[in-house]
Structure 1
Amino acid sequence: MGETIPIAVPRKGRPLESVLDRLAHRLDVTDLADTISSTLRHEKALTKGTIEPANGPDEHVYHRLATYSSVEDPTEPEYTLLRDDRDGKPRRIVFDSVTIPLAGVDGIPGDVSIQLVGREEPFRALRTHEFALGFDSADLVLEEVVELRPDPLESLADINTRIDPSDTHVQVVTGLGDTVYHTLMATPDVSSTGSIDRAFLERYEGPLCIEPRYERLVQAVLGTRVLEGVYFEYPQSGREEEAAIADTGIGVYLTVTGSTAREHGLLLGEQLFPSETVLLESSPEVTDTVERVRSLFAGPDLETELTLEP
C-alpha cells in the first residue's frame, strides 16, 4: 500500500473552494472539485433558508448527508454535520474528507495519494502536529501567533518574520490568490480632515469599529503605535458590519468591491492588508514526500500577494 499524505483544509467557504480550484488546475480532478463546491453552496443556501430542499421542507438533513457521502470509496467525497451559528443553530452539511491518488504526477511516486481532511481551524491542527501541510486563512495566523509590535505589518510575506519559533513551527509557504482586503473606511464627516489612511489614524483619537475576532489582527496590521488614543468598538450581534461602522464613523472590514460600504454612506480608504488562503507547513513533520506534494500547490503561475525570498 502506498503512502497517503493528509492535508488539513477548511470545512466550507472561500478558502476550501480556493484549495479545490488549485487542485483542479494542477490535477485532473475538475469534476470532483466542482461536485464538492456545488454541494456545499447548495447546503449553505438551504441553511440560510434561501431555497427549499428538493423533497420538501420535511426532508431531513441526515437523508441528504447519506446521499452525498461515500463511506466505501475514499476517492469519493464524504461530508459531516456541524451546528451553524445562524438563528436556531441549524445543522449544516460541511466537507469531511476525500482521497486523491497522485499516480502520473511528475516528481511524485506513483503510489502516493493526498487526503484532504476537513478541520474547523486547520492552522491549529498543524500547531498540534496532526498534519505536515494545511490550508487556512492568513487572518487566523495573525490572530493566533504573530507578535504585536509598534510598527505595522504590511504584507503577507512579513508574517513568518513575526512568528516566534518557540511558539510554533508552522510557517506560511504560499498564497492561493483569493485576495480580499482589510480596508479602512469612514463616513464623510470623520474623514473630512484628510485621506483615510494610516497617517490619518495616527492623528485620530476615538472609537474604531471592528469585528471582535479581528482585534489582534488589526493591532498587528496597524501597529500598536498607530492605535494610541484609539479604542475598539464592535458591531452588535446580528448587525451588518458596514452599518455598525457607519454608526461609529470609522472602522476596518473585509472588502472585495466595497459596494456594501458605499451603500451605507462610507468612503473607502487604504487597503491595509491583503487576506488570502495560504498553504502552511509544520516543519518538523515535513518529509521528502511531503516536499514533493507541497510543490503541487506552489508555483510561478499563482497570482498571490505572498512573495517569499527563495
Structure 2
Amino acid sequence: MTTTRVAVPRKGRPLEAVLERLAARTGTTELADEIISTLRYEKDLTKGNQSADEDIYGRIADYSDIEDPTRPEFTLLRDDRDGMPRRVVFDSVTVPTDRGDVQLVGREEPFRALRTHEFALGFDSADLVLEEVVELQDDPLRTIDEINDRIDPLDTDVRVATGLGDTVYHTLLATPTVVDSQDRPLDREFVRNYAGELCISPRYERLIEAVIGTAALDDITFTYPENGQEEEAAIADTGFGVYLTVTGSTARDHDLELGDRLFPSETVLLENRSERTPVTEQVAELFTEPEATALQSL
C-alpha cells in the first residue's frame, strides 16, 4: 500500500496530541506511550530533573531502530537555551492503517514544510498559523473555524482541516486594580476601552493583534517579559496582559484575575490543497472522522 508522509512537531504537546489521536484510531497505544514517555524523560534530563547512567548517544541508539520503520527513530536537536544543550527529539515512525501506511516525520516547523510543498498533510499549532499568514482585521478572530477565512489564497495553499482538542487558551489577565478601573467584565470590550500597557510574550504579538482585533489596540502599547522572567510575573508587574492558561492557578498565584478566553491554542491538522490526492484525503479522514467510525473501519 502507499505510504503517506505526514509532518509533525519533534516534541511537546502538539506531537503528543497527534500520537494520541492516531493511537485512538489504529490501536497503537503502546507505541504512542513509548514515544511520549521517552521524550518526557529526555526533557527531564535536559532540565536536570533526572539523571542517566548512559550517555546521550547510547540512549538514542537504544531508543531507535533504523531497520524496522514501524519502530520509532529519534535524533538530536540543539536546544536554544543558554549553553545550547542537546536534546533527544522525535524523528519518524511508520504506522500501518487501513488507509495505507502513515509515516510521521518530525520537522521543526511542520506548517512551513507544508507551505513549501514538502508534505500534503501535517500538524502544527494553530498559533503558528496566526503568526504566519492570517489577515489582521478590526474584527477579532475568535475560533479555529474562522482561520481559513483569514488566509489569502495567493499567500499559501495550506488550510486548517480540524483541531485535535488539546486546548489551552490565550486568556486576558489583570490585577484587581486594573479590573476595577472599568465597570464591566474583563473581555474584548474592556480592552477596547483600555489605554496603557499590555504585557504579552513577544512570539505572540501578531497572534494577539489577530484575536483582539486591531481596532481595540489604538491606545495600547505592548510590553514584554524581561529575559528569564515568567510571563505571569511580568503581567502582574504591568497590571494587564495576555498569556496561555489551562486552570489559571499560576495566574492566581500572582494575584491575577482571569478574563475572557480569547483564542484556543490547539494542535491542528493542516492540508496543502494543491498536493491533495485521493490517498491523502483518506488519511486526513483517519484523523478527522469520529473515533467510532474510524475504529469500525479497522
Partner of 1:154: 142
Matches within 5 A, 1:1-310: 2-53=1-52, 55=53, 59-102=54-97, 105=98, 108=99, 112-194=100-182, 195-301=185-291
1:228-262 CA-to-partner distances (Å, cap 9, x unmatched) read: 11011011111111000000100000000000000
Partner of 1:306: none
For the 8 Å contact 2:24–2:291, the answer to whether it is kept is no
Structure 2: runs of 5 or more not aligned: 293-298
Instruction: Measure the CA separation in 1 of the matches of 2:77 and 2:286.
Output: 30
Superposed displacement of residue 86, structure 1: 2.8
Partner of 1:305: none
Instruction: For residue 130 of structure 1, give the secondary structure of its aligned residue in structure 2.
Output: coil
Instruction: Measure the CA separation in 1 of the matches of 2:55 and 2:237.
Output: 41
Partner of 2:296: none
Q: Across the two proteins, how many residue pairs are aligned to each other?
A: 290
Letter in 1 for 2:11: K
* 291-300 or 254-263, which deviates more: 291-300
Instruction: Measure the CA separation in 2 of the matches of 1:273 and 1:74.
Output: 37
Instruction: For residue 225 of structure 1, give the secondary structure of its aligned residue in structure 2.
Output: helix
Letter in 2 for 1:242: E
Letter in 1 for 2:166: D
Letter in 2 for 1:188: P
Normalised TM-score (structure 2): 0.95
Instruction: Measure the CA separation in 1 of the matches of 2:178 and 2:242.
Output: 14
Letter in 1 for 2:110: P
Instruction: For residue 287 of structure 2, give the secondary structure of its aligned residue in structure 1.
Output: coil
Instruction: Measure the CA separation in 1 of the matches of 2:134 and 2:272.
Output: 16
Q: Pick the structure with more helix per residue.
A: 2
Instruction: Measure the CA separation in 2 of the matches of 1:266 and 1:252.
Output: 11
Instruction: For residue 297 of structure 1, give the secondary structure of its aligned residue in structure 2.
Output: helix
For the 8 Å contact 2:7–2:110, the answer to whether it is kept is yes
1:35-89 CA-to-partner distances (Å, cap 9, x unmatched) read: 0000000000000101111x1xxx3211111111111111110001111133321
Superposed displacement of residue 301, structure 1: 4.8
Instruction: Measure the CA separation in 2 of the matches of 1:90 and 1:298.
Output: 37
1:243-299 CA-to-partner distances (Å, cap 9, x unmatched) read: 000001000000000000000110001111111100000001110011111111002
Instruction: For residue 216 of structure 2, give the secondary structure of its aligned residue in structure 1.
Output: coil
Letter in 1 for 2:265: S
Normalised TM-score (structure 1): 0.92
Letter in 1 for 2:7: A
> RMSD value over aligned CA atoms?
1.1
Instruction: For residue 295 of structure 1, give the secondary structure of its aligned residue in structure 2.
Output: helix
